[in-house]
Amino acid sequence: MRKFFKRKRPIQPLPFAVYYYTVLSIGLIGLFVSTYLSYSHYRVYTDVGYKSFCAISKAINCDTVSQSAYSIFWGLPVPVWGIIGYMFLLLFLLIAKNKNAGNNRVWTLLFLVAAGFTLYSIILAVISTFYIHSYCIMCLVLYAVNLLLLFYTHMIRSRFKSGGLIDGFKKDIQFLKTKRSSVIGIFASFFFVVILLLLFFPTYWQFTPPVLLSKTDSGITAEGHPWIGAQNPKLIITEYTDYKCFQCKKMHFFLRQLIAKHPDKIRLVHRHFPMDHAVNPIVKEPFHVGSGKMALMAIQAASQNKFWQINDILFEMAREGDVIDIRELAARLEMDSKTLARSVNDPAARRLLQHDILSALKLKISGTPAFVINGNVYLAQIPPEIIRTALAD
């Protein structure tokens, strides 16, 4: 009888260099992408006009991911941890390149490292899906990088018959012991750098507004809107903001710092435009939930001459979570917490909020932050020449 099935020939592995440089290339791609994401994260927080190339939509937006509280882990930006992780992997690759290591050393350890990276990617993907509700394209590239590392390290172990995980792990540890002095030197230096980063990495993502000094002029406009800055300004900027809008927070603190440096030239007038479907008629689905209530509390605080204090605090607290601790907020403002809580249902406060929203809609404002200067509306940021001209006069 003719045989329809033939015994499979054993797979002949390619030269070791092919596998090695493939994994090295993938690791270098991960390092490069992590470095770019670290740079982008820094620009998101420090450059008022920055927008990354992958800020495409609400669902696909690297900047939204960077702006979330989940972008910081143990005092460092997540992409910086990516740099650390890929550097750690590349150091192991240096050891694997050693001709005395043999074709199957230290690939079990590298496989376990890649498995850890993949697990971390899954966790980040879950956070992006269910908590941030937005995806970062470059993060998706890193997820693919980590899966490829897992696949190739597993394949290398199979090609060169590294045995079981436990047995392979023991052999890798035994091999590292034979290179104890060089291994200790390399990784001791690496972990020393990591410790320095944890201790001294600048917390640029923490916006700190200038301290409100008694000499800082502020007041209420004839129309009833809070202002801060110059009594006789050369430039009046009216901001329409949402407390849960990251760009609003960044621009507001930038303007507050600008006023602190030039208190006799610029005046900032605040108007509310929460992109909360509960109060804003142009928002048709849940978005920035709770920002409307925050605006109402700010209006209540303004009636007690505490608007600029609560303004700074609300921008700070909005990033920490969806729920505002009213007792904590009232304590920091030295206000009665019950009065602050009742403000969300106060008819007078709601009328003032609706007046702000309707005035924004008449100006055809459909997003935040928006700035009105001499009757002109500017979305997201203010042209630098306007500020330069005011400061130069």
- 55 and 189 in a single domain? The answer is yes
Last residue of a domain, one of 200, 231, 266: 200
pTM for the whole structure: 0.83
- 141 and 233 in a single domain? The answer is no
What is d(CA 95, CA 23) in angstroms, rounded to the nearest whole number?
Answer: 13
Total residue count of the chain as it appears in this document: 393
What is d(CA 10, CA 196) in angstroms, rounded to the nearest whole number?
Answer: 49
- 40 and 67 in a single domain? The answer is yes
- 223 and 324 in a single domain? The answer is yes
- 245 and 370 in a single domain? The answer is yes
Which amino acid is located at 79 in the chain?
P
Tokens 């006009």 locate to 49
Other beta carbons within 10 Å of 221: 13
How much of the chain is in helix, strand and coil states, percent to nearest 5? 60, 10, 30
- Answer yes or no: is 211 within a domain: no
- Answer yes or no: is 151 within a domain: yes
- Answer yes or no: is 55 within a domain: yes
Picking from 221, 216, 262, the residue whose alpha carbon sits closest to that of residue 239 is 221
- CATH number of the domain at 343, please: 3.40.30.10
- 233 and 293 in a single domain? The answer is yes
CA distances (Å), 360 to each of 23, 271, 306, 350, 365, in order?
Answer: 54, 9, 24, 15, 5
- Answer yes or no: is 340 within a domain: yes
Range of the domain at 343: 218-392
pLDDT in tens, the chain (393 residues): 455 445 556 666 677 788 889 999 999 999 999 999 999 999 999 887 788 888 888 788 898 899 888 999 999 999 999 999 999 999 988 887 765 555 557 889 999 999 999 999 999 999 999 988 899 999 999 999 999 999 999 988 888 777 788 988 888 888 888 888 888 888 899 999 999 999 999 999 988 776 765 567 899 999 999 999 999 999 999 999 999 999 999 998 889 888 888 889 999 999 999 999 999 999 999 889 999 999 999 999 998 889 999 998 898 887 655 677 889 989 999 998 898 889 889 999 999 999 999 999 999 999 999 999 999 999 988 988 998 888 886
Q: In the chain, how many domains are there?
A: 2
CA distances (Å), 51 to each of 44, 218, 374, in order?
Answer: 7, 32, 26
